[in-house]
Structure 1
Amino acid sequence: MTCNFVKELSPRLIEWRRSLHALPELGFMEYITTYRIGKELEALGFKLFVGRDALDEESRMGVPPESELKTHELKALEWGVEVSWLEQMRGGNTGLVAIWDTGKKGDHVGFRFDIDALPINESLDSKHFPAKHQFVSREQNVMHACGHDGHTTIGLGVAHYIATHHDHLAGRFTLLFQPAEEGGRGARAMVAKGWLDDVDYFYSGHIGIQTLPVGTIAASTPGFLASTKYNAYFKGVSSHAGINPELGKNALLAATTAANNLYSIPRHHDGVTRVNVGRLVAGSGRNIIPEDSYMEIEVRGETVEIAEYMAEKATRILQAAADMHDVTCTIEPVGLTEVVVCNEELIPKITEWCAESEYVKEVLPSVTVSGSEDVSLMMNRVHKHGGKATYMLFGTKLDHPHHHPVFDFQEEVLLVAVDTFISIIKGGSGLID
C-alpha cells in the first residue's frame, strides 16, 4: 500500500531534508546538492543527464561571476564531489534530469523540483526549529528560506516510488531537479534543452506560500505574476568631494534617483503590479564622489502585457536617472518568469486520485497566490505542445514568511506531498493491476 511506502520512507525524508537544509547552495552553484541528488538516483537506476546535458548553457540568466563559481567548485571538490561529476557542472551548469522509461505504452509525465537556496543569514535563535535540532545552515548568508530543501526531498521520495514500483507502472517519467529558481533564472535553460516538448502531463508545487493545515493541498494556483529581473550598473567619474566636486559625476545619486522613481511607476488599471529595489551598492569613502553604483531590481505584472508595461517604465527610469546625473547606465536582464496557467480539468482528477490517501485530508480546487515562479516557462512549453500542467500547494503552518531568517515548515508536509505525487502517478499514468 502507498501509505506503508510513505510511512517507511518517512525517516529518510526527514534525514534528506535536514542534511540539505544544513548545506544550502545558491543558484547555479548547487554543485554538492546536484551531486547528492544524482548519486541517490544513480543507485536507483534512473537514466541521468547532469549539468550541460541537463540544461542549455547559453540560455541561463544571471550566472554568478566566474570567481564565485570557481570558489564553490573548489569547495565541492573538498567536500567530496567526484571530479567526473564536477567536470559536467563547471561554470555554473548545475541541476540534473532523471528519466525512467517503463518500456510500456503510456503517458509521459514530468515533475519539477527546485533545489537552490537564498542569500539570507539563518537565525540561530534556539526557538528556531532547525537551530533547536542542530541542522541550521552551516553556510554564512546562505539559507533554504523558501522550502526548496523540502522540494528536493519530495523529488527524491517520488523517485524512490517510481524505481521500486516500476513493474506496476506504464509510460515514461521525467524528473527535473532545477537550479536557480530564485530570481527566475534556471527554468529557461532546461526548457531550451527540450525536456518539456513531449510531456503529456506536468506537475510541480510549493510548500507553504499560504498557511494551510498539513494535509490540505491546492490542486491549482492562480495569481503568479510575470516578472523581469535586472541588474543595473551606473558608471560616473570620481573626484575629490571638497576640492573639485564639479569634476565628479555621481553614480550613487543616479542610483538613488532611479530607486526613488521606480516606486513612482503608475499602477496599471488592468491588474496587479509590483516593483522592488532589492540591493544598491555604491561609493568608497565620504570624501570621494562615487564613480560606480550597482542595483538589483525586479518588476512584476499580472499579465504579460502589464509585465511588459512595468519593464518598459523601469528601464526608461534607469536610463533617465543616468542622463540626469551625466553618467552611463548598463541594464542587464538576469531573470524571467511568465504567467502561470493551470489546466482546470486536472482539478477533479487530482481530487479523485487523492481521495483514498491517508495523508491528504482535503483538496482545495485552487488557492490564489502572488509572487512569481519560473516553472511558468516549463508549464507554458507543455501547453504549447498540447500537454496539460498544474502547480499545487502543500499546506503547512507558517510562523514566518518565506525569505525570512526564521522561515521553516512542518516536516509532516513532506509525507503529504510525496503521497500526493504518488497518487497522481498511480491514478494518471497507467497503473497496471
Structure 2
Amino acid sequence: MDIIQVRRDFHRHPEVGFTEFRTAGKVVETLLALGYHVTYGKDAIDGSARRGVPSEKDLQRAFERAIENGADPDIIAPMEGGYTAVIGTLEGNAPGPVVALRFDMDALPITESAEADHVPFAKGFRSEFEGNMHACAHDGHTAIGLGVAKVMAHGNFAGTLKLIFQPAEEGVRGAYAVTEKGMLDDVDYLLCHHLGTNVPLGEIYGGAQGFLATTKMAVHFRGVSSHAGAAPELGKNALLGAATALLNIHAIPRFSSGDTRINVGVLEGGTAANIIPQHAKMIIETRSDSEEVNCDLEERVRKIIAHSAAMHELEYDIDIIGGAIPIKCDEEMVKTVLEAAAEVDGFSSLKGIQTGSRGSEDASYMIKRVQERGGKGTYMIIGTDIAAPHHHEKFDIQEDILPRGVQLLERAAMKLLK
C-alpha cells in the first residue's frame, strides 16, 4: 500500500459529512481484503442521533457521484441515506484489552485553489469534486488509518483492535451518533489524533485539551406573509422575530464560571421588499470550556428564541445540528504515545498536553464514553507544516508525516495490546 497515493486519491475525491460514500466504500474494501471484520451502514451509526444531515437530494446526488467515481455499488448500498461510518475489528491471538483508533473522513465545502503554487494542483491531485476540498487533513487521517490496518493485520497481539472511521467531524456532527450506537462501549483504550494545527513537522503532543463544549442550532421561524404596503398588520414577520432573537442572544452576559463564546452566524429570510417575511432561518452556536456552562448558554438561547417568537406571534422549531464537549486526556495514554514517538525516526520534539486550542472536537464524545466505562483515552496532535491555515483553499500537508504517523499509531497500539 502506497499511503501517499492513498491520501492523494482521497484528496481528489473529497466528500462532506454524511456523504463520504466513496471514501467509506474504499475503507470497507481495504479492511475486508486485510481480513478485518467490518461493521458499517446502519449497524455502525445511530441514524436518529446524526446531526446536520444533508437533504435527501444532496445525499442521493453524492451517492450517485460516488458510484460514477469508482465506488462499489454493492458495498456502499447499506450506506445510502448518509450512514457512512465504518468500524474495522481484528481479534488478536490471545485475550486482552480492546484498543480503538479513530480517524475522521470528511471534507469541507471549499473550492480548492487552482494556482500554480498549490501543490495538489501542481502535482495533479487537486479536488475533482468542485466546491468540496480536503482542507483539514482528514484525507491524511483516513490514509493513516488504512496504513495502520495493514501493518496490524498480522494479528500478533493480545486483545482486540478496533479502527473507527468516522463521518462528519466538520460541524461536530458524526461522533455522537457513532457513540450512541454503542461502538465505544467495549473499548478500554482510545487513541485519537489530528495532523497539523500549527504544530511543525517533527513535533508531537501526546494529548490536547482546551477544546470547547459547543452546541450548533438551526432555528426556523414561521409567520404569515402579507402585502407590506396594503396590509402590513395582517402579516406576522418571521424575519423581525429572528432579528429580535439575534440581538438578545448576543446580549447574553459573559460567565464568571467559565470561558464562553456565542455567535449567530447565519440570518436568512424574506423574498421581496413589499412582502412581510413568512420564514426566517438562523444558525447559532454556543461554546464554553465548561460543559455545564455551555448547557446553560443553550438554555438561555432557547428561552430567547421562544420569547422572540411569541412577541411576533410566530411558530418556530430548533434543530441541533452539531455538538461537542471538552476533552480530558489520561496521563497514562499521553505517556504511552510519547514512548511510542520516541521509537519512531523523525519525532524530535516530544511534548505532553497542548492546552491552547479553542476550537471544538466531537471525538470528545467518544473519549468521554470510554472514560465513563473505566477506560482511558487521549487526543494527540501530530505535527506537520501546512501550506495555509486549516479550512483555507490552499491548505496542504507534508506527506512525510503519513508513514511516520502509521508507525506512531502502530507502536502506541501495540504497547496497549498486551
Shift of 1:69: 1.7
Shift of 1:23: 1.1
1:176 and 2:161 equivalent?
no
- 8 Å CA contact 2:199–2:381 kept in 1: the answer is no
Q: Find the counterpart in structure 2 of residue 403 from structure 1.
A: 391
Q: Which one of the candidate residues 28, 47, 61 is aligned to 2:37? A: 47
1:317 and 2:304 equivalent?
yes
| Distance (whole Å) between structure 2 residues aligned to residue 19 and residue 67 of structure 1 | 25
| Distance (whole Å) between structure 2 residues aligned to residue 124 and residue 40 of structure 1 | 31
1:222 and 2:222 equivalent?
no
Q: Which one of the candidate residues 272, 282, 294 is aligned to 2:281? A: 294
| Distance (whole Å) between structure 1 residues aligned to residue 203 and residue 93 of structure 2 | 34
Q: Find the counterpart in structure 2 of residue 390 from structure 1.
A: 378
Q: Find the counterpart in structure 1 of residue 348 from structure 2.
A: 361
Q: Which one of the candidate residues 27, 30, 55 is aligned to 2:20? A: 30
1:372 and 2:351 equivalent?
no
| Distance (whole Å) between structure 2 residues aligned to residue 379 and residue 332 of structure 1 | 25
Structure 1 counterpart of 2:81, one-letter code:
G
Shift of 1:384: 1.2
| Distance (whole Å) between structure 2 residues aligned to residue 347 and residue 39 of structure 1 | 32
Shift of 1:90: 1.7
| Distance (whole Å) between structure 1 residues aligned to residue 161 and residue 3 of structure 2 | 21
Q: Find the counterpart in structure 2 of residue 234 from structure 1.
A: 221
| Distance (whole Å) between structure 2 residues aligned to residue 311 and residue 399 of structure 1 | 36
Q: Which one of the candidate residues 117, 131, 151 is aligned to 2:121? A: 131
Q: Find the counterpart in structure 1 of residue 3 from structure 2.
A: 13
CA gap of 1:377–1:23, structure 2 versus 1, over 3 A, is: same
Shift of 1:130: 2.0
Q: Which runs of 4+ in 1 moved over 6 A?
A: none
Shift of 1:320: 2.9
| Distance (whole Å) between structure 2 residues aligned to residue 185 and residue 63 of structure 1 | 8
- 8 Å CA contact 2:112–2:126 kept in 1: the answer is yes
| Distance (whole Å) between structure 2 residues aligned to residue 407 and residue 324 of structure 1 | 46
CA gap of 1:280–1:23, structure 2 versus 1, over 3 A, is: farther
C-alpha root-mean-square deviation of aligned residues, in Å? 1.8
Structure 2 counterpart of 1:118, one-letter code:
L
CA gap of 1:157–1:300, structure 2 versus 1, over 3 A, is: same
1:74-98 C-alpha deviation (Å, 9 max, x unpaired): 2233334333223211221112100
Q: Find the counterpart in structure 2 of residue 331 from structure 1.
A: 318
CA gap of 1:88–1:139, structure 2 versus 1, over 3 A, is: same
| Distance (whole Å) between structure 2 residues aligned to residue 260 and residue 149 of structure 1 | 39
- 8 Å CA contact 2:85–2:178 kept in 1: the answer is no
Q: TM-score, normalised by structure 1?
A: 0.91
Shift of 1:310: 1.4
| Distance (whole Å) between structure 1 residues aligned to residue 266 and residue 133 of structure 2 | 18
Q: Counterparts in 2 of 1:52-91, with a 5 A limit?
A: 52-91=42-81
| Distance (whole Å) between structure 2 residues aligned to residue 58 and residue 23 of structure 1 | 27
Q: Which one of the candidate residues 266, 269, 279 is aligned to 2:266? A: 279
CA gap of 1:274–1:236, structure 2 versus 1, over 3 A, is: same
SS at match of 1:220: strand
SS at match of 1:173: strand
Structure 2 counterpart of 1:114, one-letter code:
D
Shift of 1:152: 0.7
| Distance (whole Å) between structure 1 residues aligned to residue 69 and residue 326 of structure 2 | 39
Shift of 1:138: 2.1
What count of residue pairs does the alignment treat as equivalent? 417
| Distance (whole Å) between structure 2 residues aligned to residue 17 and residue 206 of structure 1 | 15
| Distance (whole Å) between structure 2 residues aligned to residue 145 and residue 277 of structure 1 | 24
| Distance (whole Å) between structure 2 residues aligned to residue 326 and residue 128 of structure 1 | 52
- 8 Å CA contact 2:93–2:155 kept in 1: the answer is no
Shift of 1:202: 0.7
| Distance (whole Å) between structure 2 residues aligned to residue 218 and residue 46 of structure 1 | 30
| Distance (whole Å) between structure 1 residues aligned to residue 365 and residue 285 of structure 2 | 18
Q: TM-score, normalised by structure 2?
A: 0.94
Shift of 1:337: 1.3
Shift of 1:399: 4.6
CA gap of 1:241–1:315, structure 2 versus 1, over 3 A, is: same
Q: Which moved more, 1:360-369 or 1:184-193?
A: 184-193
- 8 Å CA contact 2:28–2:75 kept in 1: the answer is no
Q: Find the counterpart in structure 2 of residue 148 from structure 1.
A: 138
- 8 Å CA contact 1:359–1:419 kept in 2: the answer is no
SS at match of 1:94: coil
Shift of 1:248: 2.4
Q: Find the counterpart in structure 1 of residue 112 from structure 2.
A: 122
Shift of 1:65: 2.0
- 8 Å CA contact 1:236–1:326 kept in 2: the answer is yes
Q: Find the counterpart in structure 2 of residue 198 from structure 1.
A: 186
| Distance (whole Å) between structure 2 residues aligned to residue 122 and residue 257 of structure 1 | 37
CA gap of 1:83–1:356, structure 2 versus 1, over 3 A, is: closer
- 8 Å CA contact 1:212–1:395 kept in 2: the answer is yes
1:418 and 2:415 equivalent?
no
Structure 1 counterpart of 2:106, one-letter code:
D
| Distance (whole Å) between structure 2 residues aligned to residue 74 and residue 217 of structure 1 | 40
Q: Which one of the candidate residues 328, 350, 358 is aligned to 1:341? A: 328
| Distance (whole Å) between structure 2 residues aligned to residue 418 and residue 269 of structure 1 | 43
Q: Find the counterpart in structure 2 of residue 5 from structure 1.
A: none
Shift of 1:57: 2.2
CA gap of 1:338–1:413, structure 2 versus 1, over 3 A, is: same
Shift of 1:34: 0.6
